[in-house]
């Protein structure tokens, strides 16, 4: 199976950068392509998992090709078309092309010719290039499933857990606009987004199921072995850079000038302060956290650690708590006057699935009947029994008359006498 995780130095030497595109422009192209996938998927009524799979295809594609060679909106349309078939939620190519053209109308109308004709012939040609680029690897797991499982293990106030779960779900949606899916596994991204939601909502996870007493175990160590706090904070910083860059394209009245820009998790329009650092310290956009030794050590050994931890509750012995209440349709930490408010409400986190109802008891088996003689295999090839000898003969009226009538008495057999021997 191919490995789809890269180092940070590999993300700074992509084919687009080698082709003359600077790093900031390439990151902007990735954000615009992934937001186009989510906008297109929302209008088509697709599931978040399908849109996330399309975003992963989009990021993997441009690790082998350049943005100068393949336009981002045409590639994003092709990735969502393929993701619909992979996730068994396919859409017709005509419907996808019609909706994609409607989205690009207006300020981005100049990109409509890059989609090709309305029949989608160009998108089908792109699919032939996309399939070998992703190496026909269609096994993609999204962080949504891990996030649902992790929230079930938390013990505390249900209302606070519900709000934190909704915020973490929104962070997972926005994480596809970054290159985190090219750096870390989905279970690690789910832990980092849940950690960030806890910091922003000022909720501390102190009790969870299967907690070991008198130990300094963290809540995420029950899911991933060897994952340190520094790695989680580094992922959170990369995610917060997304909102810092989005604020540069926002106006002073709190409205987003670009319709494709997603919302920030704060109510103000100022730069986002990292909840991990001290409140008096403001992270600038240009400052990057240095790569520490824990990050390198974990990357070298993570394939031998966290993949061996089975997330199935039946194997780990983690009991499942009752499901938390359903998520609200609106979020208080979003801007009220935004283009994506209607779309974001349709991306609210669904409630965790209910446990399956118990199966009805099986009816008792009937007692074995000893007086019934079962036929043996030898009787299958025997002749039917003969009638008893004392049966009266059938009356002549039961026999059907001959269709040809009675045989003439003169017609004897043989017609001529046989010669003597």
SS (H, E, C) the chain: CCCCCCCHHHHCCCHHHHCCCCHHHHHHHHHHHHHHHHHHHHHHCCCHHHHHHHHHHHHHHCCCCCCCCCCHHHHHHHHHHHHHHHCCCCCCHHHHHHHHHHHHCCCCHHHHHHHCCCCCHHHHHHHHHHHHHCCCCCCCCCHHHHHHHHHHCECCCHHHHHHHHHHHHHHHHHHCCCCHHHCCCHHHHHHHHHHHHHHHCCCCCCCECCCCCCCCCCHHHHCCCCCCHHHHHHHHHHHHHHHHHHHCCECCCCCECCCCCCCCCCCCCCCCCCCCCCCCCCCCCCCCCCCCHHHHHHHHHHHHCCCCCCCCHHHHCCCCCCCCCCCCCCCCCCCCCCCCHHHHHCCCCCCCCCCCCCCCCCCCCCCCCCCCCCCCHHHHHCCCCCCCCCCCCCCHHHCCCCCCCCCCCCCCCCCCCCCCC
If asked whether residues 83 and 200 sit together in one domain, one would say no
Which CATH number belongs to the domain containing residue 200 in this structure? 1.10.472.10
Classify residue 397: in a domain, yes or no: no
Tokens 């994952």 map to which residue? 227
pLDDT of residue 246: 67
Last residue of one domain, picked from the residues 133, 154, 171: 133
pTM for this prediction: 0.63
Q: Are residues 189 and 156 in the same domain?
A: yes
Widest pairwise Cα distance in the chain = 137
Question: Do 233 and 335 have their domain in common?
Answer: yes
Residues 150 and 120 reside in one and the same domain:
no
Output the pLDDT for position 405.
56
Could you tell me how far CA 159 lies from the centroid of its own chain?
27
Q: Do 320 and 152 form a contact (C-beta atoms < 8 A)? A: yes
Q: Is residue 7 part of a domain?
A: no
How many independent structural domains does the chain possess? 2
Q: Length of the chain in residues, anyone?
A: 421
pLDDT in single tens digits along all 421 residues of the chain: 678 999 999 999 999 999 999 999 999 999 999 999 999 999 999 999 999 999 999 999 999 999 999 999 999 999 999 999 999 999 999 999 999 999 999 888 899 999 998 889 999 999 999 999 999 999 999 999 999 999 998 888 889 999 999 999 999 999 999 999 999 999 999 999 999 999 998 888 888 888 877 777 888 888 888 888 999 999 999 999 998 876 655 433 333 333 333 333 433 233 333 333 333 333 333 333 444 455 555 555 554 444 444 434 334 333 333 343 343 333 333 333 344 444 343 455 666 666 677 888 888 877 766 555 555 555 555 566 666 666 666 665 555 555 555 555 555 555 566 666 6
Tokens, residue 299:
């990357």
Distance CA 167, CA 320 (A): 21
Both 23 and 115 in one domain: the answer is yes
Domain of residue 72 covers: 13-133
8 A C-beta contact, residue 271 and residue 248: no
Is residue 120 included in any domain, yes or no? yes
Beta bridge partners of 116: none
Domain identity same for 193 and 219:
yes
Does any domain span residue 138? no
At residue 250, what are phi and psi to the nearest 5 degrees? -100, 150
Is residue 163 assigned to a domain? yes
Sort residue 73 into left (φ over 0), alpha (ψ -120 to 50) or beta: alpha
Q: How far apart are CA 217 and CA 211, in angstroms?
A: 8
108 and 189 in a single domain? The answer is no
Q: Classify residue 385: in a domain, yes or no.
A: no
Looking at the structure, tell me whether residues 313 and 293 fall in a common domain: yes
- Which residues are CB-contacts of 310 (< 8 A; sequence separation ≥ 6)? 316
Cα-based angle 173, 88, 92 (whole degrees, multiple of 5) = 95
Based on the fold, state whether residues 213 and 248 are members of the same structural domain: yes
2 belongs to a structural domain: no
Contact (Cβ atoms closer than 8 angstroms) between residue 216 and residue 257: no
Q: Is 290 within a domain?
A: yes
Claim to verify: residue 67 and residue 155 sit in the same structural domain: no
Of 175, 179, 188, 315, the closest CA to residue 240 belongs to: 175
Sign for the CA dihedral angle at 106, 255, 39, 74 comes to positive
């Amino acid at each position: 199976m191919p490995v789809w995780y890269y180092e940070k130095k590999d993300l700074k030497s992509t084919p687009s950068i080698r082709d003359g595109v600077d790093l900031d422009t390439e990151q902007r192209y990735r954000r615009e392509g992934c937001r186009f996938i989510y906008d297109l998927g929302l209008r088509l009524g697709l599931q978040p998992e399908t849109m996330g799979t399309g975003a992963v295809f989009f990021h993997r594609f441009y690790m082998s090709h350049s943005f100068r060679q393949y336009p981002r909106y045409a590639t994003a349309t092709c990735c969502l078309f393929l993701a619909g078939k992979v996730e068994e939620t396919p859409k017709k190519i005509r419907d996808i092309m019609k909706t994609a053209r409607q989205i690009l109308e207006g300020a981005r109308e100049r990109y409509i010719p890059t989609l090709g004709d309305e029949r989608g012939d160009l998108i089908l040609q792109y699919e032939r290039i996309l399939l070998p680029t992703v190496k026909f690897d269609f096994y993609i797991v999204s962080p949504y499933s891990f996030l649902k499982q992790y929230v079930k293990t938390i013990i505390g106030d249900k209302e606070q857990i519900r709000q934190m779960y909704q915020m973490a779900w929104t962070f997972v949606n926005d994480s596809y606009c970054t290159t985190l899916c090219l750096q870390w596994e989905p279970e690690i991204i789910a832990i980092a987004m849940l950690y960030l939601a806890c910091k922003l909502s000022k909720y501390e996870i102190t009790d969870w199921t299967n907690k070991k007493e008198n130990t300094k175990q963290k809540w995420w160590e029950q899911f991933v072995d060897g994952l340190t706090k520094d790695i989680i904070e580094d992922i959170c910083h990369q995610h917060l850079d997304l909102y810092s860059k989005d604020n540069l394209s926002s106006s002073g009245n709190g409205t987003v000038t670009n319709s494709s820009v997603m919302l920030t998790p704060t109510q103000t329009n100022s730069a986002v302060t990292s909840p991990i650092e001290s409140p008096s310290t403001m992270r600038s956009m240009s400052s990057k956290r240095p790569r520490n030794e824990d990050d390198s050590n974990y990357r070298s050994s993570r394939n031998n650690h966290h993949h061996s931890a089975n997330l199935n509750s039946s194997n780990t012995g983690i009991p499942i708590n009752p499901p938390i209440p359903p998520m609200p349709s609106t979020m208080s930490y979003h801007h009220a006057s935004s283009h994506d408010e209607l779309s974001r409400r349709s991306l609210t986190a669904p409630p965790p699935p209910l446990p399956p109802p118990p199966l009805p008891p099986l009816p008792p088996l009937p007692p074995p009947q000893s007086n019934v003689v079962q036929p043996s295999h030898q009787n299958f090839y025997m002749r039917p029994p003969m009638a008893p000898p004392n049966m009266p003969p059938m009356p002549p009226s039961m026999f059907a008359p001959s269709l040809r009538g009675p045989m003439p008495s003169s017609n004897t057999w043989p017609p001529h006498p046989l010669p003597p021997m």
